[in-house]
Amino acid sequence: MNNCLPAGVIHVRDLNLWAHVGVLPQEKLLGQYFSLDFSLWIDLENSAEKDDISTTADYSVAIRDLQKLSFSTCCSTIEHFSDRILDCLENLYGSVPMQISLRKCAPPVSGFTGTVAIERKRHFPMP
């Protein structure tokens, strides 16, 4: 097995999503904002050389599909939401190495004003 990642990577940062994710009833009922970063490791040489979008990952498709996914999501954990995001990206681009960072922008924890995030990876080569 090849242990190398493709030389190119596409990063999408700060995609704002609205979803009904959380343990508390108001989180599931009202929903809340999440911020998503995702990265796709792919070969960018052909698209760089030929300026041909069909030879790269059209990230606008992922943005649109992830926005649709978030509006239809209702679950308890950010982990489950992240799994659905990875499934969506895999359905679009296949088994390419991918990484996401998903942040709950305003977790309902008294006295806490930060974010809570998880990071997940799929299809990375084994060392």
Q: Where does the chain show beta strands of DSSP type E? A: 8-21, 32-42, 74-75, 98-104, 116-122
pLDDT at 35: 98
Q: What pLDDT tens digit does each residue of the chain (127 aa) get?
A: 457 888 899 999 999 999 999 998 989 899 999 999 999 999 999 899 999 888 899 999 999 999 999 999 999 999 999 999 999 999 999 999 999 999 999 999 899 999 999 999 999 987 7
Structural domains present in the chain = 8-122 (3.30.1130.10)
pLDDT at 127: 72
Task: Convert 57-89 to b/e letters by CB count within 10 Å (16 or more is b).
Answer: bebeebeeebeebbeebeeeebeebbebbbebb
Contact 31, 19 (CB under 8 A): yes
Indicate the residue type of 49.
E
pLDDT at 65: 98
Tokens standing for 64?
């649109």
pLDDT at 1: 47
pLDDT at 103: 97
pLDDT at 74: 95
